[in-house]
Amino acid sequence: MCGIVGIIGTKPVADAIVEALRRLEYRGYDSAGVSTLENGRLTRARAEGKLRNLEARLSEVQLGGHTGIGHTRWATHGAPTEQNAHPHMTSKVAVVHNGIIENFQELKDDLVAYGAVFSSETDTEIIAHLITRYIEEGATPIDAARRCLKELSGAFALAILIEGQENLMIVARQGSPLAIGYGDGETFVGSDAIALAPFTNTITYLEDGDWAVLTRDGAEIRDLEDRIVNRPVQKTIATTLLVDKGNHRHFMAKEIHEQPEVVSHTLSSFADIAEARIVLPDLPVDIEKLDRLTISACGTAYYAGLIAKYWFETYAGLGVEIDIASEFRYRNVPLKSGGLSLFISQSGETADTLAALRHCKASGQKTVSVVNVPQSTMARESDAILQTLAGPEIGVASTKAFTCQLVTLACLAIGLGVKKGLIDRDRERELVNALVSVPRHMSHVLQMEDQFEDICHILSKARDVLYLGRGTAFPIALEGALKLKEISYIHAEGYAAGELKHGPIALIDENVPIVVVAPGDELYEKTHSNMQEVAARGGQIILLTDQDMEQNGLELAAKITLPPTHPLVHPLIFALPVQILAYHTAVFMGTDVDQPRNLAKSVTVE
């Protein structure tokens, strides 16, 4: 994950910025850079690789100046070279950026026509050029930045310096976190409170859509509609911890809100976003000859695998054998030597998944693991790993690791489809662009959080809750039920909507809320019939959908309409409302959300 730091101070800032960037190293990065305003002029030092390379560069060029921005970059658009490292700048504007600017190509085409000369392959550089253009056209620095921000589409965080403006920094947050820190005659900005801990523990977290004008005296924060807003100033304890809750009550809430950012980082490591291409690491099998895949995992990771099964079948033409690892390891599954087995695990230490991996290895299978912890046993023992970049997940209930597993598996399915000749260039572009839009849509869903409150009240009064879905919405129904039961202790079950008539319908009466996960796809009509069956028996239907479909007189207890998205990414988007429902229901019921009873984060025993 990229990291951002900025300081408007009273003494030279370059070294302090590097010190703060060091605290963001845990996020992972492959290049770094600093820019300062020295006597009103923008300067810059950047280096490939680790911060020590940047420090070596800084000892040569010695950047002065009391105002500066710094960045650790995890490559998205363009290779991890010095040229692509942030800050990006013109003679008038320097910028550091986390996230993805989706419409960068059209903005770039316009800017090139205007005469801008680009020196990197990044999406970020368009921001520096666009603000420069507006300043050249007569706008004030703040207006130029405001106009630029309105043109950007995507999920991002930014810090911007303007030539000649030593007491000014413009920052913005849309989907990627950003915190402002207050000192004595100094103001700071960072990707999280951990970066700012050496300077201050007085912090304001920006909300999505916020942008702010920083000076040495503090910050003026505006929302999406340009209204001045007051965001709470709080004391953080990040000084002593490597992970903190930010402005959230629980780690789980923080992790739910991190999803636009971590999904975008994970996507960046398996896709060339500028080219809209999948880029997979070498896999230990001959992909052209591959026709089957075996998947094992536990809990939420197993549900990620269930969703991936639909993708592997649809996009890569692969038959998939998937099982819960604790069952798989004791079955006598005939495994063809040289076949491919896939394991999915946040921790990389889950005993049953590890045992399944060892069993497959012993049977001559090639093994690939999707893991979040690259030092884990599964990562070490697999032939290849696909690392999810969710960062540390502290809440026991998995959230951001799940969506990062999904985006990784989607890339794998598309990448295999391309290699097998089943997906042509246009289709690949369409699918990758759908994945690129996910962080923006996730951020939109997170801004709808207030709409979920009434539903949580309904759920909190229930003894049993059913979740229904079809297609890839079925595993989301399973995941929704698991999330609810593990943190709120309300009994919940997920079912394939078509299974309703084969048993679970007997449970339905007016006391049973039924959460129906039904994107407006070609399966919607079928699920609608199931909802009518539920309604006829007095069940309270809570519909999660993404279109305003005709309800034909169907009575709903509640309905949430998410932004419409490409069918490929439905599970990535619909994962969020089921997490939010479980989270707020649990908070409402007063349970221990981050450490629910009887559960462990990593199940290292059978």
Helix (H, G, I), strand (E, B) or coil at 349: coil
Q: Closest distance between ligand F6R and the C-beta of residue 322, in Å?
A: 14
For the residues of 543-572, what is the DSSP string, one character each? EEESS----TT---SEEEEPPP--GGGHHH
Q: Which residue has the tokens 């229930």?
A: 462
User: What is the spatial distance between Cα 579 and Cα 400, in angstroms, rounded to a whole number?
Assistant: 10
Q: Closest distance between ligand F6R and the C-beta of residue 218, in Å?
A: 40
Nearest 5°: phi and psi at 556?
A: -115, 145
The sign one gets for the Cα dihedral 582, 586, 592, 596 is negative
501 is catalytic: no
Q: Which stretch binds ligand F6R (CB under 6 A): 243-251, 347-355, 464-472, 551-559?
A: 347-355
Interface residue with ligand F6R, options 35, 122, 165, 345 (CB under 6 A): 345
- The verdict on 350 binding ligand F6R (CB under 6 A) reads yes
**Closer by beta carbon to ligand F6R, 427 or else 601:** 601
- Encoding tokens for residue 218? 């503090």
User: What is the spatial distance between Cα 329 and Cα 348, in angstroms, rounded to a whole number?
Assistant: 16
Active-site residue (options: 50, 419, 420, 601): 601
The sign one gets for the Cα dihedral 512, 513, 519, 520 is positive
Q: Closest distance between ligand F6R and the C-beta of residue 302, in Å?
A: 7
Q: Closest distance between ligand F6R and the C-beta of residue 418, in Å?
A: 27
Show Cβ contacts of residue 91 under 8 Å, excluding neighbours closer than 6 positions: 42, 132, 163
Q: Which stretch binds ligand F6R (CB under 6 A): 9-17, 134-142, 298-306, 531-539?
A: 298-306
Q: Closest distance between ligand F6R and the C-beta of residue 124, in Å?
A: 33
Q: Which stretch binds ligand F6R (CB under 6 A): 50-58, 179-187, 282-290, 345-353?
A: 345-353
Site residues for ligand F6R, 482-521, by CB under 6 A, read: 482, 486
Helix (H, G, I), strand (E, B) or coil at 244: coil
Nearest 5°: phi and psi at 377?
A: -60, -45
First to last CA, the chain: 33
Closest residue to ligand F6R, judged by C-beta, is: 299
Q: Closest distance between ligand F6R and the C-beta of residue 397, in Å?
A: 4
**Closer by beta carbon to ligand F6R, 290 or else 586:** 586
Q: Closest distance between ligand F6R and the C-beta of residue 493, in Å?
A: 15
Which runs of E-coded beta strand occur in 374-446? 384-387
- The verdict on 255 binding ligand F6R (CB under 6 A) reads no
- The verdict on 579 binding ligand F6R (CB under 6 A) reads no
- The verdict on 397 binding ligand F6R (CB under 6 A) reads yes
Q: Closest distance between ligand F6R and the C-beta of residue 376, in Å?
A: 9
Active-site residue (options: 2, 298, 360, 411): 2
Interface residue with ligand F6R, options 448, 554, 589, 603 (CB under 6 A): 603
- The verdict on 299 binding ligand F6R (CB under 6 A) reads yes
- The verdict on 388 binding ligand F6R (CB under 6 A) reads no
User: What is the spatial distance between Cα 143 and Cα 319, in angstroms, rounded to a whole number?
Assistant: 55
**Closer by beta carbon to ligand F6R, 398 or else 527:** 398
483 is catalytic: no
Show Cβ contacts of residue 598 under 8 Å, excluding neighbours closer than 6 positions: none
- The verdict on 377 binding ligand F6R (CB under 6 A) reads no
> What is the arrangement of strands in the sheet containing 319-324, beginning at the earlier edge strand?
319-324, 292-297, 340-345, 366-371, 384-387
User: What is the spatial distance between Cα 176 and Cα 191, in angstroms, rounded to a whole number?
Assistant: 8
**Closer by beta carbon to ligand F6R, 205 or else 302:** 302
Q: What is the DSSP letter of 403?
A: H
Q: Closest distance between ligand F6R and the C-beta of residue 512, in Å?
A: 23
User: What is the spatial distance between Cα 493 and Cα 477, in angstroms, rounded to a whole number?
Assistant: 8
Q: Tell me how many residues contact ligand F6R (CB under 6 A).
A: 15
Helix (H, G, I), strand (E, B) or coil at 246: coil
**Closer by beta carbon to ligand F6R, 176 or else 345:** 345
**Closer by beta carbon to ligand F6R, 129 or else 254:** 254
Q: Which residue has the tokens 């479980």?
A: 582
Using alpha carbons only, what angle is made at residue 581 by residues 576 and 583, rounded to the nearest 5 degrees?
A: 95
Interface residue with ligand F6R, options 36, 269, 326, 346 (CB under 6 A): 346
User: What is the spatial distance between Cα 272 and Cα 411, in angstroms, rounded to a whole number?
Assistant: 11
Q: Closest distance between ligand F6R and the C-beta of residue 478, in Å?
A: 11
CB 470 within 8 A of CB 499: no
**Closer by beta carbon to ligand F6R, 132 or else 259:** 259
Q: Which residue has the tokens 């439905």?
A: 570
- The verdict on 398 binding ligand F6R (CB under 6 A) reads yes
CB 366 within 8 A of CB 337: no
User: What is the spatial distance between Cα 523 and Cα 473, in angstroms, rounded to a whole number?
Assistant: 10
Quote the crossing angle between the two packed helices 400-419 and 299-316, to the nearest 10°.
Answer: 20
- The verdict on 301 binding ligand F6R (CB under 6 A) reads yes
- The verdict on 347 binding ligand F6R (CB under 6 A) reads yes
**Closer by beta carbon to ligand F6R, 31 or else 347:** 347
3 state SS for 405-419: HHHHHHHHHHHHHHH
Interface residue with ligand F6R, options 53, 153, 215, 602 (CB under 6 A): 602
CB 498 within 8 A of CB 518: no
**Closer by beta carbon to ligand F6R, 181 or else 299:** 299
**Closer by beta carbon to ligand F6R, 139 or else 355:** 355
Q: Beta-carbon neighbour count of residue 242 at 10 Å?
A: 10
- The verdict on 300 binding ligand F6R (CB under 6 A) reads yes
Query: In Å, how far are 2, 17, 197 from 5, measured between CA atoms?
Result: 10, 6, 11
- The verdict on 298 binding ligand F6R (CB under 6 A) reads yes
**Closer by beta carbon to ligand F6R, 42 or else 301:** 301
- The verdict on 214 binding ligand F6R (CB under 6 A) reads no
Residue of 513, 573, 578 lying closest to 300 (CA atoms) = 578
Q: Closest distance between ligand F6R and the C-beta of residue 234, in Å?
A: 28
- Which residues are annotated as catalytic? 2, 601
Point out which residues bind ligand F6R (CB under 6 A).
298-301, 345-347, 350, 353, 397-398, 482, 486, 602-603
